[in-house]
Amino acid sequence: MKINKNSFIGVFDSGIGGLSLLPALISILPNENFLYVSDDAFAPYGLKNKESIVNRCETITDHLIEKGSKLIIVACNTATTNAIETLRSNYSVPFIGIEPAIKPAAFKSKSKSIGVLATEGTLSSSLFAKTSATFAKDVKVIEQIGSGLVEFIESGSLDDPKLSVLLESYIKPMLKQNIDTLVLGCTHYSFLLPQLKKLLPNKVQIVDSSDAVAIQTLRILEKNNLQSSRKEEGSIQYISSAIESSLLNFLPKNTNVSMLSTDPI
């Protein structure tokens, strides 16, 4: 199948988490068009089993390929760790995955103790275990499941005092183990940066994967001769699998989001 290099890049997540990748992607790929899929109807992925996650990722991938996607970014840590190998085996378009930034965190850490805040689906995956074993041999990795955080973020309740209390309950035990680097192992968690900066001492660095994903996307486009030849600035379109999408809480007013009734997945 010949891929049209002037087609769009598909980006999907269980909800709004993948939006945190778009600024880095647009910065390095200003002439590319993007189609963002928010799978609100099946969010969150973190508590679902592997089979359910893989099936959902295949459904969204089928939809994006049918529309003409030239490359697909799995903008969800849980989806990547559970489904990326299957997707790459079953489809011909290139895929970019996202996983916790263990490697750069281990390199940056001076205390040799790093914290990883992620979903249960990510932390229990074989890919996470493999990455940790490969890149964090000499580093203590303190894993913390961020139960409930995605739900607060998706609802737009970022100023809820209960969210601050919950987040503090996850961060304090890691600080007691002398972490000096915190890995955000879920794209949703980038929306918690203001709260995290209040809770963390200045010595603790926060690491996410957005810049690495953007750079890898550029590399894969170049490798496959898929960079857009357009000179004009690219655009972003949005689709949700639910009639009431959490995207509306995070996008500028009057942004068009295609809903289930008009663009079913």
Out of 54, 186, 236, 239, pick the active-site residue.
Answer: 186
154 contacts: CB under 8 Å, gap ≥ 6: 15, 16, 40, 43, 44, 188, 246
In this structure, how many other beta carbons lie within 10 angstroms of the beta carbon of residue 127? Answer: 18
**Torsion angle (degrees, nearest 10) of CA 84, 89, 95, 101:** 30
The sign one gets for the Cα dihedral 67, 68, 73, 78 is: positive
**For residue 30, what are the CA distances in angstroms to 39, 46, 118, 225?**
25, 31, 30, 17
CA–CA separation, 239 and 40 (whole Å): 10
Cβ atoms within 10 A of the Cβ of 14, count? 33
Catalytic residue flag (residue 186)? yes
Angle of helix 77-90 versus helix 50-67 axis, rounded to 10: 60
- Name the active-site residue from 76, 149, 163, 221: 76
Distance CA 67, CA 250 (A): 25
**CA-to-CA distance for 182 and 192, rounded, in angstroms?**
13
Q: Is 76 a catalytic residue?
A: yes
What Rg do the C-alpha atoms of the chain give, in angstroms? Answer: 18
Tell me the CA end-to-end span of the chain in Å, nearest whole number: 23
Q: What are phi and psi of 29, to 5 degrees?
A: -130, 60
Catalytic residues: 76, 186
